Amino acid sequence: MTPSLRIATLNIWCRHGDWPARREVLRAEFARLRPDLIALQETVVDGDYDQVRDLLGDGYHVVHQGNRAREGVGCSIAARWEPQDVREFDHLVTDRVDPEDFPGRTMLAEFDTPVGRVAFAHHKPNWQVPYERERELQAVDAARAIEQAVAGRPDVHVVLAGDFDARPETASIRFWTGRQSLDGLSVSSQDAWEFAHRDAPGHTFTVENPLIVVEADWSRIPPRRIDYLMVRCDDRGPTLRINSCDRLLAQPVDGMHGSDHFGVIADLTP
């Protein structure tokens, strides 16, 4: 049997909305899909409560972002395997980045998986709509850190995941996908959704999901695809084959959506 890796990313949306109902939807879907590596944004670690462990149960190693925002909100990685190396990078790139809010940050954790050594980069830039300059600077900062971490190790696969808060046509995403350089640097990662679906919109933050107007009204902007899974490329393309990619939790269960975002899930093979 060909070894495979199932990866997922989802913004959990803290405990907003009807959390008890959302919790049941999230727990059931993760149990059904059984991803191997998961990037989760807006997770809560507060006192004795660990939202990721509450949702996933046993069977995962969990790594939480160290410098969390107000009320214990931050990012987390969950994996079937124990992490071999974990690094965190802050991206306080301008005076507009508030470290007490939800600052730009990247987590990089390495795992020995059935498809080989994987450096799983969980990237979360600033969320504010007008902050594309910050997202550009944060992308360059993160890319330099990732490239330095894997330099001289061509056998390491880099998988990039997260809520990037930027549409595919923005400079920060064009940079990640090799369509343009920024600050004298060029990199390239294959967007898994684009590979699997070409020009299909694949919106992950949209009024199709009524939860985007529950805590704050996001209906003034058009539907956007802002959540991504990407595989870093060598000279001829992504180092892991993208066999499938779909939106995660894009349909309600008994009338309830799991989050205000739809996530992304993909299956990779050597």
Hey, which residues does 86 pair with through a beta bridge?
Answer: 109
Q: Using alpha carbons only, what angle is made at residue 32 by residues 31 and 35, rounded to the nearest 5 degrees?
A: 70
The stretch 217-235 carries a mean pLDDT of: 96
d(CA 227, CA 205): 8
What is the domain range of residue 213?
A: 5-269
Cα–Cα nearest to 41, from 119, 126, 134: 126
Average confidence score pLDDT of the chain: 96
The stretch 184-198 carries a mean pLDDT of: 98
d(CA 105, CA 21): 30
Instruction: Provide the greatest CA pair distance for the chain.
Output: 52
Q: What is the pLDDT of residue 98?
A: 86
Q: What is the pLDDT of residue 18?
A: 97
Confidence of residue 47 (pLDDT cuts 50, 70, 90): confident
Residues 145-174: tens digit of each pLDDT = 999 999 999 999 999 999 999 999 999 999
- Amino acid at residue number 186: S
**Is residue 102 scored above 80 in pLDDT?**
no
Q: What is the pLDDT of residue 99?
A: 82
**Is residue 269 scored above 90 in pLDDT?**
yes
DSSP strand E in the chain: where?
5-11, 37-46, 49-50, 61-64, 73-79, 85-90, 105-113, 116-124, 157-163, 189-191, 227-234, 237-238, 241-248, 263-269
The stretch 27-40 carries a mean pLDDT of: 98
CATH of the domain at 195: 3.60.10.10
d(CA 78, CA 35): 9
Position with higher pLDDT, 179 vs 46: 179
How many structural domains does the chain have? 1
Q: What is the pLDDT of residue 68?
A: 85
**Is residue 140 scored above 90 in pLDDT?**
yes
**Is residue 106 scored above 90 in pLDDT?**
yes
* C-beta of residue 129 within 8 angstroms of C-beta of residue 221: yes
Residues 119-130: tens digit of each pLDDT = 999 999 999 999
Q: What is the pLDDT of residue 233?
A: 98
Residues 72-82: tens digit of each pLDDT = 899 999 999 99
Residues 230-259: tens digit of each pLDDT = 999 999 999 999 999 999 999 999 999 999
Q: What is the pLDDT of residue 100?
A: 79
Q: What is the percentage of the chain residues whose pLDDT exceeds 70? A: 100
pTM: 0.96
Q: Count of CB atoms within 10 A of residue 149's CB?
A: 17
- Amino acid at residue number 51: Q
**Is residue 71 scored above 90 in pLDDT?**
no
Q: What is the pLDDT of residue 226?
A: 98
The stretch 188-197 carries a mean pLDDT of: 98
What single string gives the DSSP state of each residue in 135-194? HHHHHHHHHHHHHHHHTT-TT-EEEEEEE--S-TTSHHHHHHTTS--BTTB---EEEHHH
**Is residue 103 scored above 80 in pLDDT?**
no
**Is residue 31 scored above 90 in pLDDT?**
yes
Which bin fits 47, alpha (ψ -120 to 50), beta or left (φ > 0)? left
